[in-house]
A and B are shown apart, each in its own frame.
Chain A
Amino acid sequence: MEIILAIITGVLYASGIYMILRRSMVKLILGIILLGNGVNLLIFLLGRITKGQPPIIDSTEKALEGIYADPIPQALILTAIVISFGLQAFAIILVKRAYKVLKTDDLDQLNTTDEDS
C-alpha cells in the first residue's frame, strides 16, 4: 500500500515541478497546486499508515488503548491545506490582474524589472 502512495507522491512532485518550469502563467499556478497536493500526501505517508482506530478517546476510558492512527500528521496536513488554499487564491487573482496589465501570458516577456532605469 505504501509503495503505491510513494509512487503517486513522486508523480505529483514531478508533474508539479515540470508545470512550474513552463512558460505560461496559468501553467505556473497549476504546477503550484499539484506540488501542494504532493507535499500533503508526503506528510500523510510519513506518519506511517496503520490499520488502527481514529485517535479519539472513548467516554468510558481515560487514555488511548490499542493501535490508533497518529493525529499529528492529520493536523499538519489540515494546516497546510488551509494555508495553500489562501496562497492559491491569491495567486489566481494576481495572475488575472497581471494578465490584464501586462497583456501577455508568457513569463519570458516579463523583463521590465531587468532594465537599467
Chain B
Amino acid sequence: MTNDIIILPLVVHLFFSILLMLFWNKVNFQKVVSMVGNAIALCVAIWAFIHVYNNGTQIVESGNWPAPFGIVFVGDMLAVTLVLLTAIAGFAVSVFSTISVIKARLRFGYFSVFHFLLLGLNGAFLTGDIFNLYVWFEIIIISSFVLISIGGEKNQLEGAVKYFALNFFASMIFLTALGVLYGLVGTLNMADISLKIAEVKDTTLVEISAVLFLVGFGIKSAIFPLYFWLPASYHTPPSAVSAIFAGLLTKVGVYALIRVFTLIYGGDSFLTTLLLFLAIMTIFSGGIGAIIQNNIKKVFMYFIICHIGFMIGGLALFTEVAMAGVIFYLIHDIIIKTNLFLISGLIYRIKATTNMKKLGGLYAHYPKLSLLIAIPLFSLVGIPPLSGYWPKISLILASFNAQEYWFFGALIFGSLITLIVIAKLWSEVFWKDQPKINFPKKFIYFDQLRLGQKFTFVFPVAFLTFVTLYIGFGAEHIQQLSQRIAMELMNNELYINAVLKR
C-alpha cells in the first residue's frame, strides 16, 4: 500500500527549514513562520497517524525503485506514533523558544536549524533502510551540534567539545557495524536483512555486528557505561534546546535499538542478558547520580539516564507484555522529559537561578503555576492515575513473569529513587521559604513581562501537561495502541510483507 501521506512530515519540515534560511536576518518573521510551520507539521502528523491507524502499514518507495533495491519509507504504527510525539514536542518547544531564547542567539539561524533537527528526527523514525537511518542520524547530530553551541559561551563550548567527540565516535561505530552487516547479507533494506540474516553461517560475525550496534546506539541513548557525555553537556544550552534534546535525541537511540533488535537480531540470549545487565546498572547509576545534585537541570538529566534503563530492560525481556510496557513508557517519557526541561526554563525565568539551595517559596507566590508544574513532576514519579503509573505496571508484570528478579528489584529501586528526589525537589523549590540571596539586577524577571509574553511562557508547559493528563486518564486507549505496536514488533512478518509486497 503506497501512499504519500507519510512523507509529508518530512516535506513540511524541509520546506520550512529552507524558507527560514532564506530570511536569515528577520527574527520576528522567523518566529511567526516557525510556529506556523510546527502547527502545520502537527496537523500533518495527526492526519498520518489516523491514516495508518485505519489502513495499516503504509510504504513509500522513493525513486519508484521496488523494495529491496531502493530506499523505502515505512510508516508502521511505531513510526507514526513517534512522528506524532515529535510534532507535539516540537510545537511546544518552538513556542517556548520564541520567547525564552535571547535574540542574539536567534539571529544565527536558530529556527532553521531547529526545523532541520525535526526533519532528521522524522526521517529516522520513518525510514526502512539501515544506511538511510545513518544519514538521518548524522543530520540529527549536525543540527544538534549547531544548537548546542549557538551563543558561544564558555560552558557551552566545553559541553559542545565533549558532546561532539562522543557522538562522532558513536557514528563511526554505527558505520562499522553497518559495514560488517552489509558484508554478511549483501543488502541494506531492513526487511530484507531480516529475511537473509537467518541464512548466514558465520554466527560469530553476526553477534559482533549486534554488539557494535548496541555500543553505537547505546552511546546515543545514554546507557551505562556510555552515558557520561550527557551530564557534561545537556545543561549548557538554553532550556528550549535542552528540552528538545532531552525529549527526543536519546529516544531516537532507543527506537533504533528496538527496531534493530526486534527486526534483525531476534531474542538472542547473550544479547538479552547483556542488555538486561546494562539496564539494571543504568537505573542504579542514574538514580544514585540524581540524589546528590543540587541543580534542577542536573537532577532531570540524571533522570533521563535512569528512565532509559527502564526502557532498555523492557526491551531485553523480549516478551509482548514487556514491549507494550516499553512503548507506553516511551510515549509517556518523551512528553514528560520535554515538559520538565521547559519547566526548568520557566523557573529560571522566575528566579534567575536553578540551584535548589537558592530557590524557594514558589508555592507561596505562584500557586496556580505550582499546580501546573506538580502534574508532570508527580507523573514522572508514577503516582496513579497519572501517566507514569501504567507502563510501570506492564514492566513489573513482565519482569515478574519472566522471573528476572534483579530487574524487578531495579524497577522498584528506580521508582523509589525518583519519588525521593522529586519529594526533595518539591520541598526545596516550592515549599520552603525563599532564602535571602542577592538577585542579579540586569535580569528580565517573569514578573516584569507583559501578559502576552507570560502566556507564551506558560502555554507550552500547559499544552504538554494537558497531553500528559490525556495519556494518564485515557490510559486504556494508549494501552491498546501500545499492545498493537508490540504485536507488530514481535511478529515481523507483517512488516516484511508490507515492505516487500508479498
Which residues of B have CB within 8 Å of A107? Answer: 161
For A86, what are the chain B residues with a Cβ–Cβ distance below 8 Å? 142
Select from chain B the residue with minimum beta-carbon distance to A29. B165
A98: CB under 8 A from chain B?
Answer: yes
Residue of A nearest to B174 (CB): A39
Which of A36, A42, A90, A117 makes the CB contact (< 8 A) with B145? A90
Q: A79 to B158, Cβ gap below 8 A?
A: no
Inter-chain CA distance A72–B182, complex, in Å, is: 9
- Write the chain B residue with the least CB distance to A36: B172
Give 27 CB contacts A-B under 8 Å. A28-B161, A28-B165, A36-B172, A42-B176, A46-B182, A47-B182, A48-B183, A72-B182, A72-B188, A76-B179, A79-B131, A86-B142, A87-B142, A87-B171, A97-B157, A98-B157, A101-B153, A101-B157, A110-B161, A112-B158, A113-B159, A113-B233, A113-B236, A114-B232, A116-B295, A117-B295, A117-B355
**What 9 additional pairs, Cβ within 8 angstroms, besides A36-B172, A91-B168, A116-B295?**
A20-B165, A28-B161, A46-B180, A80-B175, A90-B164, A94-B149, A102-B158, A112-B154, A112-B155
In the assembled complex, B169 has its CB within 8 A of some CB on chain A = yes
Is B454 engaged at the interface, CB distance under 8 Å to the other chain? no
A6 interface hit (Cβ, 8 Å): no
Whether B135 is near chain A, meaning CB under 8 Å from some CB there, is yes
Chain B residue at minimal CB-CB distance from A35: B172
User: Given A43-B182, A46-B180, A101-B152: A94 and B160 within 8 A (CB)?
Assistant: yes
Tell me if B's interface is mostly helix, strand, loop or mixed.
Answer: helix
Residues of B within 8 A of A95 (CB): 161
Contact present for A39 and B182 (CB under 8 Å): no
How many A-B contacts are there with CB distance less than 8 Å? 95
The verdict on A87 contacting B154 (CB below 8 Å), with A73-B182, A79-B135 known, is no
Residue numbers in A under 8 Å from B235 (CB-CB)? 113
Q: Give 3 closest A-B pairs by Cβ, nearest first.
A: A46-B183, A43-B179, A110-B158
Contacts of B182 in A (CB 8 A): 43, 46-47, 72-73, 76
Identify whether the interface residues of A are mostly helix, strand, loop, or mixed: helix
| Number of B positions contacting A (CB below 8 A) | 40
CB <8 Å contact, A39 and B142: no
Interface, chain B (partner A; CB < 8 A): 131, 135, 138, 142, 145-146, 149, 152-155, 157-162, 164-165, 168-169, 171-172, 175-176, 178-180, 182-183, 188, 231-233, 235-236, 293-295, 355
Chain B residue, CB-CB nearest to A43: B179
Residues of chain A with a CB closer than 8 A to B179's CB = 39, 42-43, 46, 76
B158–A87 contact, CB under 8 A? no
A90 adjacent to B142 (CB under 8 Å)? yes
Tell me the complex Cα distance, A35–B170, Å: 11
Q: Residue of A at shortest CB range from B181?
A: A46
Complex CA gap A76/B188 in Å reads 10
When the two chains form their complex, are residues B175 and A102 in contact, meaning their CB atoms are under 8 A apart? no
Q: A94-B149, A116-B295, A117-B295 are in contact. Are A83 and B135 (CB under 8 A)?
A: yes
Q: A47-B182, A72-B182, A73-B182 are in contact. Are A97 and B164 (CB under 8 A)?
A: no
Residues of B within 8 A of A113 (CB): 155, 158-159, 162, 231-233, 235-236
Q: In the complex, what's the smallest C-beta–C-beta distance from B330 to chain A, in angstroms?
A: 27
Which residues of chain A from 7 to 29 have any CB-CB distance to chain B below 8 Å in the complex? Answer: 20, 25, 28
Residue of A nearest to B353 (CB): A117
Q: How far is the CA of A117 from the CA of B368 in the complex (A)?
A: 28
Is the CB–CB distance between B165 and A76 below 8 Å? no
Q: Report whether A110 and B162 are in contact in the complex, using a CB–CB cutoff of 8 Å.
A: yes
Chain B residue with Cβ nearest A28: B165
Question: Which of A32, A97, A101, A111 has a CB less than 8 Å from the CB of B165?
Answer: A32
Which residues of chain B are within 8 angstroms of A32 by Cβ–Cβ distance?
165, 168-169
